[in-house]
A = this chain, B = another copy of it.
């Protein structure tokens, strides 16, 4: 109940402040961090470590199995942890999440032109 209530609080605040979804997520993460006084630990290098650790916890869901046999509930939680730390690292550098992803898509579009990359899993330097 407390949980649902707090999520509603974030969403009401988002509505009042006309925040975008990504801004809303960021605010919820910063509030969680600041209430615990954890900014002191969150330097960029350790946030990069945290992303790696969570990424491996995600990977563990698939260890010795095929993709289909992973537990979606656990995948969901590990993926959420990765995203949370990735958003916090973006915030540390004042990166705009949407902008950096769209920019990288552009850059990858040049490294992997459709006519060469279509249907191929090769790395750009092997195409």
Contact = CB atoms under 8 A, between A and B. Distances in A.
Nearest to A31: B105
Interface residues on A, range: 35 or more
Given A32-B108, A70-B44, A102 B10 contact: yes
Query: By DSSP majority rule, is chain A's interface helix, strand, loop, or mixed?
Result: helix
Contacts of A86: 79, 82-83, 86
A57 B60 CA distance: 11
Nearest to A26: B101
Contacts of A58: 48, 51-52
Interface string A53-89: 1011111111111110010100111011111101101
Contacts of A83: 83, 86, 90, 97, 100-101
Contacts of A51: 55, 58-59, 82
Contacts of A79: 86, 89-90, 95, 100
B59 A52 contact: yes
Contacts of A104: 77, 80-81, 84
A43 B65 CA distance: 11
Interface string A89-114: 11001010110111111111100101
